[in-house]
Amino acid sequence: MTLAPDDIGRLLVALALLLSAAHGLGYVFTRFRQPRVIGEILGGLLLGPTVFGALFPEFQAAVFPADGSVPLVLDAIYQLGLLLLMFSAGVEIRAAFHAGERRTVAWVSGVGTVLPFLAGLGLLAFLDLGRSRGPAATDASFLLVFAIAIAVTSIPVISRIMLDLGILETSFARIVLAVAVIEDVILYVLLAIALGLAARGSGEVYGLPGLLDLDPSGAASVVYHVVATLAFLGISLVVGPPVYRRVLRFRFNVVRRGSAIGFQLVFMFLATAVAVFLGVVPLFGAFVAGIVVASSSAKGSAAAREEIKNFSFAFFIPIYFAIVGLRLDLVREFDLLFFLWFAAFACLAKSASVYLGARAARESAATSMDLAIALNARGGPGIVLASVALDAAIISETFYSTLVLLAIVTSLAAGSWLGRAVRTGRPLREEPSIATELPAAESDLS
C-alpha cells in the first residue's frame, strides 16, 4: 500500500504538530526544572481528544484519522520510538556505588520492590477490576501488570531530575540509581512474561512456540514463555558481550566499517528479531541489546551510542511520548474516583516499602523519606508499562489513563520534593566517611 498525496500531507502535518508540541512543552518543563518527558506527554494530550478533539473535532480527526495509512505509519514510528527508548535504557544501565552504600541498596531494592509488588497482588484478591481489564487479558497477565504498576520506578526521569538539581554525583543519587536499575531489570522481565501470557491467551502463536506446536491455552505454553524470557536474558548477558565484541573486531565487518551507528542499529534489530522468534516481546529484546552494546569500549562505539541517543531523543522518542499523550481521552476514558484511590494505594505501598527498607539499612528518617519520594517517581517505565499493556489489550483505556497520569503526578512530586530540599541546603544523605564504611570492630580499633 502506497501513500496518496493527501495522506503524505496529513502525515507531515501530524508529525510537525507532534514534534512541535513535544519539544515545545518539553522545553517549558525543563525551564521549571521538571522532567522533559512530562511536557512531551502533555503536548500529545493537547493534540488528542481531550483538548484539540473537544474544541475542533473535525480538524483533529482530519489530522489524526482513526484508520487508513496515516495511523499505520504513525504506529510504526511509535513502535520504533519504543524500541529505541528501551535500547537507550539498556545502554544507560549502571549500578556503580560505593562500599558504604551497598547495604542501603540491598535493603531498599529488596524491600522496596517485593513489598509493593506483593501489595498489588494482595489487593486484587479483594477487588473486582473488570472495567480495568482489556479483552486479551488473562488472569495471570493482568495480575502481573497490576502488581508492576504498584512497584515500578523510573531511571530516566529521576536521573534527569537529579542532574538538573546538580546532585547526580552524590551518595544519595548513586543509591537511587542503583536501586532503580535493579528494579527495572526485574520488572521488565516480569512485564515481558505478562505480555507473552496475554499473547498466549489471545491464541496467537509465532516463531519457536508455533514450531513446537504448543497449545496456547496449555500450561506448557506458560512454562515455555517464562523459561524463554529468563533464558534470553541470561544467555544474552553471558554470551552476548564477548560475541558482540568479536563481531565488532571482525576484519570483514563492512557494516561497522561503513557506519558504527548503522552496525549498532542492525544489532538491535537482529537481537529484537531473535527475541520475537523465541516468543519474547520486542521491547525486552531491544532492552537487552542495549545492555550488550554498552559492554564494548571499542573506539567509536561510545560516540555511536551517543549519536543514536541524540537522534532518538530528537525524533522517535518524543513522538512516542507525544502519541502516548495523544491516546489519552480524559473526557470519556477517565475515572477520577478510581484514579484517586489507586494513586493513593500505589504511592503509599511504594513509598512505605522504600522507607522501611532504608530504615532497616540504618538510614536516618529524613534520608529514608527522601529515598521514598524519589523512588516513587514512575516516569518513563510507568508510561511504557501503560502503553505496551494497552497495545497488548491487557488493560482498558480507563486503566491506561490512570497509569499515565500516575507517572506524571509522581514524577512532578519527586522533582518538587528534591528541589525544595536542595534549595534549602539540606543534605539528602550524609556522604559516608571512611570510618563509617569500616566494620564496627575495625572502627573501634582506630
Q: What is the mean pLDDT of the chain?
A: 84
| Radius of gyration of the CA atoms of the chain, in A | 22
SS3 (DSSP) at 31? helix
- pLDDT class for 130, splitting at 50, 70, 90? confident
In contact, 361 and 101? CB cutoff 8 Å = no
The dihedral through the CA atoms of 321, 324, 328, 334 has a sign that is negative
223 domain residue, yes or no: yes
Beta carbons within 10 angstroms of residue 391's beta carbon: 19
CATH code for the domain in which residue 33 is found: 1.20.1530.20
Cross-strand bridge partners of residue 133: 395
Backbone angles phi, psi at 133, to 5 degrees: -90, 145
pLDDT at 64: 92
Q: Which domain holds residue 257?
A: 5-431
Instruction: Tell me the mean pLDDT in the region 220-230.
Output: 79
44 domain residue, yes or no: yes
Rounded to 10 deg, the angle between the 5-31 and 69-91 helix axes is: 40
436 domain residue, yes or no: no
Q: Rounded to an integer, what distance in angstroms lies between the CA atom of residue 440 and that of residue 171?
A: 21
Domain count within the chain: 1
In contact, 87 and 286? CB cutoff 8 Å = yes
- pLDDT class for 230, splitting at 50, 70, 90? confident
pLDDT at 438: 41
50 domain residue, yes or no: yes
Identify the CA nearest to 85 among candidates 236, 286, 254, 233: 286
Identify the CA nearest to 87 among candidates 293, 300, 243: 293
Per-residue model confidence as pLDDT tens digits over 404-419 = 999 889 988 888 888 8
Q: Quote the DSSP letter at residue 364.
A: -
pLDDT at 195: 80
Q: Per the structure block, which three cell numbers stand in for 172? A: 544519595
Instruction: Tell me the mean pLDDT in the region 372-376.
Output: 92
Instruction: Tell me the mean pLDDT in the region 49-61.
Output: 90
Q: Quote the DSSP letter at residue 315.
A: I
Percent of the chain with pLDDT over 90: 37
Residue type, 34: Q
- pLDDT class for 191, splitting at 50, 70, 90? confident
92 domain residue, yes or no: yes
- pLDDT class for 189, splitting at 50, 70, 90? confident
pLDDT at 401: 92
Category of 213 on φ-ψ map: left (φ > 0), alpha (ψ -120 to 50) or beta: left
445 domain residue, yes or no: no
442 domain residue, yes or no: no
pLDDT at 213: 75
444 domain residue, yes or no: no
Per-residue model confidence as pLDDT tens digits over 57-79 = 999 888 999 888 889 999 999 99
Per-residue model confidence as pLDDT tens digits over 252-271 = 889 988 999 999 999 999 99
The answer on pLDDT for 302 being more than 80 is yes
Per-residue model confidence as pLDDT tens digits over 202-222 = 555 667 877 777 765 566 767
Per-residue model confidence as pLDDT tens digits over 5-25 = 888 999 999 999 999 999 999
Residue type, 32: F
SS3 (DSSP) at 395? strand
- Provide CB contacts within 8 A for 197, sequence distance 6+: 138, 140, 141, 144, 222, 225
Cross-strand bridge partners of residue 395: 133
For 81-103, the DSSP string reads HHHHHHHHHHHT------GGGHH
Q: Per the structure block, which three cell numbers stand in for 203? A: 491464541
The dihedral through the CA atoms of 136, 138, 140, 146 has a sign that is positive
Question: What's the angle, vertex CA 203, arms to CA 197 and CA 208, rounded to 5?
Answer: 75
Instruction: Tell me the mean pLDDT in the region 221-226.
Output: 75
- pLDDT class for 102, splitting at 50, 70, 90? confident
In contact, 281 and 192? CB cutoff 8 Å = yes
